[in-house]
């Protein structure tokens, strides 16, 4: 009943979640139950690839929440994604123990290589899974709160706010590249062995991560839809459409902005945490401003202010990236830019808007003929 109420009048979301449910049932069957020689068998590498796409879709939902419904074009959500990934990576590094290259039971390999003598204070606690998961939410959330409180109280909006968010992720990129920061420098964190005692190379573990990514995507979608359908959501949309009027009638606009920005950042952190054990590495390249811009392109192509459109855009664009970077690796960035320009000019509401326009057109023609 609760989910039905959340998805009321959200036909696109209902279809998207139904398809996701089918995928989450079908993929384990094809991978684990169908024998390898059968043409229906799905290889494990493809399961991992699909799991990565699902984490990207969750990240796209987080961006759509602040851009589509709050009107904040964030070019820094890649930073929140990366911070969640680093929190998970630090936990996975602590699980290696003496199985590393240097066999040190207390320090990760990169610290031994750099001749560090003891574990930095900010690595303490990451040997416990619950603490690492808390940091996955807390670190992006606190950063979003501090950044949002300062920016929104100063009434920074529009392109200026977008530039500041991009500057934030670039500053973190430069910081994490430094070896003395204690996060692996240019190489980042890698060579993970297991999670909660289960080998990351196991088919069952990879399938579990895939299913968890799908459940996180469904949970993130329902959370965002719940926020949008609530009174808070109506105020957020009012801020997007007429911020000055909303402030004039007595609402503390900056409070609503900070709260939604924090929720969005924590969703991005969860996406990053699920991404890292599936790809096996996290490095400062994830902070690249180009990554944050690419996330915005996913949402624009899928259709912002729909949530399910962000999911469609993230999966389609990343599938195309997988295909075309294999065929024409140097041309992909130009193709992505051309696609964004075409969508901006001819499909301002994205693919989701195109489908809705086609439905409205058919309905109109039927009414005329009647």
Q: What does the angle CA 268 – CA 273 – CA 70 come to, to the nearest 5 degrees?
A: 5
Burial class of residue 46, CB neighbours in 10 A (0-12, 13-18, 19+): middle
pLDDT at 24: 97
Is 155 within a domain? yes
Give residue-wise pLDDT tens across range 266-282.
Answer: 999 999 999 999 999 99
Q: Give percent of the chain above pLDDT 90.
A: 79
3-class secondary structure, 195: strand
- Number of compact structural domains in the chain: 1
What is the band of 336 on the pLDDT scale with cuts at 50, 70, 90? confident
Beta bridge partners of 194: 199
User: For residue 348, what pLDDT is reported?
Assistant: 83
Q: Please report the pLDDT score of residue 362 as a whole number.
A: 62
For residue 44, what are the CA distances in angstroms to 4, 29, 204, 296, 318? 34, 12, 9, 29, 18
Residue 212 falls within a domain, yes or no? no
26 domain-assigned:
no
CB atoms within 10 A of CB 288: 16
What pLDDT sits at residue 365? 55
Whether 21 is in a domain gets the answer: no
pLDDT in tens, 213-268: 999 999 999 999 999 999 999 999 999 999 999 999 999 999 999 999 999 999 99
Burial class (CB in 10 A: 0-12, 13-18, 19+), 276: buried
Classify residue 107 by its DSSP letter.
S
Q: Give the pLDDT band (50/70/90) at residue 88.
A: very high
- Residue ranges making up the domain that contains 120: 62-199+228-369
Q: Which one has a higher pLDDT value, 204 or 347?
A: 204
149 assigned to some structural domain: yes
Tokens of 148: 């949002």
Beta carbons of 282 and 89 less than 8 angstroms apart: yes
9 within some domain = no
Residue 2 lies in a domain: no
pLDDT in the model for residue 366: 56
Alpha carbon 25 to chain centroid, angstroms = 22
Tell me the pTM: 0.95
Residue with tokens 């964190």, as numbered in its chain: 189
Q: What are the pLDDT digits (tens) for 33-52?
A: 999 889 999 999 999 999 99
Rounded alpha-carbon distances, angstroms, from residue 126 to 17, 96, 123, 135, 340: 34, 12, 6, 9, 40
Whether 243 and 305 have beta carbons less than 8 Å apart is answered as: no
Rounded Cα distance, 39 and 285, in Å? 37
350 found inside a domain: yes
Q: What is the mean pLDDT of the chain?
A: 92
Residue 2 has pLDDT above 90, yes or no: no
What is the rounded average pLDDT of the residues 301-312?
94
Q: Environment class of residue 311 by beta-carbon count within 10 Å: exposed (0-12), middle (13-18) or buried (19+)?
A: buried
- pLDDT band for 295, please (50, 70, 90 cuts): very high
pLDDT at 349: 86
Task: Tell me the pLDDT tens digit for each residue of 148-180.
Answer: 999 999 999 889 999 999 999 999 999 999 999
Q: Residue 187 — left, alpha, or beta (φ > 0 → left; ψ -120 to 50 → alpha)?
A: alpha
Distance in angstroms (rounded) separating the CA atoms of residues 357 and 285:
39
101-153 confidence digits (pLDDT tens): 898 988 999 999 999 989 999 999 999 999 999 999 999 999 999 999 999 99
């Amino acid at each position: 009943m609760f989910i039905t109420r959340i998805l009321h009048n959200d036909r696109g979301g209902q279809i998207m979640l139904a398809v996701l449910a089918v995928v989450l049932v079908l993929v384990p069957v094809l991978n684990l139950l169908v024998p390898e020689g059968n043409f229906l068998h799905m290889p494990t590498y493809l399961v991992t690839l699909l799991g990565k796409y699902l984490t990207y879709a969750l990240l796209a939902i987080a961006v759509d929440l602040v851009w589509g419904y709050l009107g904040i074009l964030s070019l820094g959500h890649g930073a929140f994604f990366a911070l969640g990934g680093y929190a998970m990576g630090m936990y996975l590094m602590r699980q290696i123990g003496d199985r590393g290259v240097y066999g040190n039971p207390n320090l990760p390999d990169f610290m031994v290589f750099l001749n560090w003598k003891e574990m930095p204070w900010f690595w303490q606690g990451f040997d416990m899974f619950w603490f690492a998961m808390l940091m996955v939410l807390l670190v992006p959330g606190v950063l979003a709160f501090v950044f949002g409180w300062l920016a929104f109280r100063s009434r920074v909006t529009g392109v200026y706010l977008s530039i500041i968010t991009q500057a934030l992720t670039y500053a973190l990129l430069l910081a994490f590249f430094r070896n003395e920061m204690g996060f692996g420098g240019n190489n980042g964190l890698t060579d993970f062995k297991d999670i909660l005692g289960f080998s990351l190379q196991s088919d069952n573990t990879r399938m579990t991560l895939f299913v968890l990514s799908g459940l996180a995507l469904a949970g993130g979608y329902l959370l965002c839809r719940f926020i949008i359908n609530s009174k808070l959501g109506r105020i957020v949309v009012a801020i997007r459409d007429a911020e000055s009027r909303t402030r004039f009638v007595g609402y503390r606009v900056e409070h609503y902005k900070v709260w939604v920005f924090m929720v969005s950042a924590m969703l991005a952190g969860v996406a990053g945490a699920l991404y890292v054990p599936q790809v096996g590495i996290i490095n400062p390249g994830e902070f690249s401003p180009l990554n944050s811009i690419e996330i915005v392109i996913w949402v624009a192509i899928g259709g912002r202010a729909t949530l399910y459109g962000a999911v469609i855009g993230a999966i389609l664009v990343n599938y195309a990236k997988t295909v075309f970077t294999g065929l024409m690796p140097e041309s992909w960035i130009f193709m992505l830019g051309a696609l964004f320009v075409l969508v901006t000019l001819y499909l301002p509401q994205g693919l989701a808007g195109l489908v809705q326009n086609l439905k409205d057109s058919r309905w109109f023609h039927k009414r005329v003929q009647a």
